[in-house]
């Protein structure tokens, strides 16, 4: 397995409940290293741009609304097989279907307010990292 980088977000529903440390600990305990981190309050426009792939989905308006409703912690994670590993630790999109011990099973409120984001493939990881971070902010 190769060392990979992936993009992660601790969403507003989680920062609002003071879960930044608890969620980061779950990522670190799984062997992922936080090599960039910043707290942002994204604008509607930034949220729309980031989630443009979902623009025709019925939940798009709700998604943009919830992502711009408060602070998000954006991170780059690095480690062995980081993209798939992060998705595994996150759990299924719908917390009612997420496995025990996953971030979403433990912390998510609903399918929309599901506490974390993680890139789903190497191509999306590269695009998502570059959307928020410059190379000099990533110290791996
Ligand atoms: P994931 O975040 O697991 O990769 P998707 O890429 O399919 O999931 O969706 C992006 C985000 O959009 C989800 O994390 C969730 O916040 C929101 N979302 C997805 N499906 C729904 C839905 N049916 N209703 C409300 N929000 C949804
Ligand atoms: Mg996704």
Which tens digits make up the pLDDT trace of 15-45?
Answer: 999 999 999 999 999 999 999 999 999 999 9
The residue behind tokens 């798009």 is 60
Q: How far apart are CA 85 and CA 57, in angstroms?
A: 26
Which among 89, 84, 50 is positioned nearest to 67, based on CA atoms? 50
- How many CB atoms sit inside 10 A of residue 46's CB? 17
Give the pLDDT confidence score for residue 79 in this predicted structure: 98
Question: Which sign does the torsion angle of CA 25, 81, 52, 109 carry?
Answer: negative
Residue whose token pair is 């789903």: 120
* Helix H or strand E encompassing 9: strand 3-10
Q: Is 117 a catalytic residue?
A: yes
Residue 62 beta carbon below 6 angstroms from any ligand 1 atom: yes
Residue 139: phi, psi to the nearest 5? -120, 95
Would you say residue 1 has pLDDT above 90?
Answer: no
Is the CB of residue 63 below 6 angstroms from any atom belonging to ligand 1? yes
Instruction: List the catalytic residue out of 10, 117, 125, 129.
Output: 117
Determine the longest span between alpha carbons in the chain, in angstroms: 39
Residue 26's pLDDT is 98
Whether residue 94 has pLDDT greater than 80: yes
């Amino acid at each position: 397995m190769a060392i990979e980088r992936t993009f992660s977000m601790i969403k507003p529903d989680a920062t609002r409940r003071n879960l930044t440390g608890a969620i980061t600990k779950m990522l670190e305990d799984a062997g992922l290293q936080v090599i960039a981190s910043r707290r942002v309050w994204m604008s509607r426009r930034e949220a729309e741009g980031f989630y443009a792939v979902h623009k025709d989905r019925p939940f798009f308006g709700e998604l943009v609304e919830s992502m711009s409703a408060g602070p998000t912690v954006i991170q780059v994670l690095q480690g062995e097989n980081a993209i798939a590993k992060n998705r595994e630790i996150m759990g299924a999109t719908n917390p009612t279907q997420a496995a025990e011990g996953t971030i979403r099973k433990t912390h998510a409120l609903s399918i929309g307010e599901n506490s974390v984001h993680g890139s789903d493939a190497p191509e999306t990881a590269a695009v998502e990292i570059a959307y928020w971070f410059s190379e000099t902010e990533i110290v791996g």
